[in-house]
A and B are shown apart, each in its own frame.
Chain A
């Protein structure tokens, strides 16, 4: 039940969030069914005939809903999954799940927190009961929270610097709301009180902010799972409308490398521009596609022949905004050229038809293969439900990627390029230019 926040590489993960779904191979013509259960929880199901059942309970409780005085709550909340609740002790929950061979993980992003259960079909209902116990009626006993601090410290210690750069980028771009860090600040570890967590949970873990997605079972089971959730009906946390500011934040951390994230304003999840920008991010390139292959994406060509470096396009979409840009890791001495060239490329990128065609295929492959992993499929179904109220099947997503025209992509890119540049950088910043210098 360890926090799974960083299980997949960030760049790959963010491009997929919001669209990813997949075509499992066993059955043809799979349909996603969605409905709203009587207790207002949105339920979605995709019966792919898998012997495993995956259930995701997602809440609008990500870091963007944290009050400015209590930053880091959502990180502590997701890492508190599995502690004792009103219904069951943490010990019994863990042992019962272990006895059934089920696993539960809690992960989160800026919008949502996902509790995902994986179990064999015969134990699905029993395991679901444990998941419900875990999610509803959380108590956050102070001594258990203080026992949990090593896990938070580990989460922070394991953060790759690229993730820090992207986190700083969000802070610079949005300041508040979506700008809130995904992670609790080291100084706040151990100082997040049980009361503030309880208050946060009571205002975010609500039926109206919840979606349940079931993969491997039919809609009846999904509705059943949704109805079994006993959640309070208290006042909701206020949602601040997102405004894109643009700006720059730097964190000098030493070392030999500079990690830089550059972005302009993207598109909100569910819009066609978001899909176009996801294609464009693929078109920018994300490292060699063939093992030992050369690195000849447009982005890499724009940066030039400066020795070893890594650069990838990325595109993230949230409910009311998005970011589109580049993540870059270069040796500190080459940072000036690389960052300036990457920024120039982001500002005036022209993508050829062939590149866009390849990128569409790559994005389709990524969407479909990521959804092959049932757990991430369940999570993305739940996320889609919370974004738009319904969920699209994997093949529908692939079809809408196919339907994008070349001009859709280039228009989305040039529209995004007109907005203000944001920059977040971490590592050795000795030669990294400032945002207004590039």
Chain B
């Protein structure tokens, strides 16, 4: 209960916004899900995304690398805003994890 309360307070709070901006990746035009470390689960999840979402993701990552190389950041009006940052990958990663645990549990049992 307390955890849920904390989570609901955290979501869309000013504190989250402050932390989001502090992290700084939004200045490169990246989204949260662009930063996931590409382990097996994430790779599988990426395979399941529709093509246009992958294209957009690749564009953001390439742009961020270019900016980093040039030691610069985007103009402020192009920074990613927390409200516009959709978690396009996390739900799929969760599903992949669930499938993996289901598999592992079965292997453990039989």
Chain A residues at the B interface, C-beta cutoff of 8 Å? 89, 91-92, 95, 99, 141-143
Contact = CB atoms under 8 A, between A and B. Distances in A.
A142 B102 CA distance: 21
A150 to B, nearest CB: 16
A89 B101 CA distance: 12
14 contacts: A89-B99, A89-B102, A91-B102, A91-B103, A91-B106, A92-B102, A92-B106, A95-B106, A95-B110, A99-B110, A142-B48, A142-B50, A143-B47, A143-B48
Nearest to A146: B47
Contacts of A95: 106, 110
Given A91-B102, A91-B103, A92-B106, 4 more contacts: A91-B99, A95-B106, A95-B110, A142-B48
Interface residues of B, number: 8
Contacts of A99: 110
Contacts of A92: 102, 106
A130 to B, nearest CB: 14
Nearest to B48: A143
Interface string B72-110: 000000000000000000000000000100110010001
B9 to A, nearest CB: 34
Contacts of B106: 91-92, 95
What are the 3 tightest A-B residue pairs by CB atom distance, in nearest-first order? A143-B48, A95-B106, A143-B47
A95 B110 CA distance: 10
B107 to A, nearest CB: 9
Nearest to B49: A143
A99 B99 CA distance: 19
Contacts of A142: 48, 50
Contacts of A91: 99, 102-103, 106
A352 B12 CA distance: 88
Nearest to B44: A143
A142 B48 CA distance: 7
Contacts of B50: 142
A196 to B, nearest CB: 16
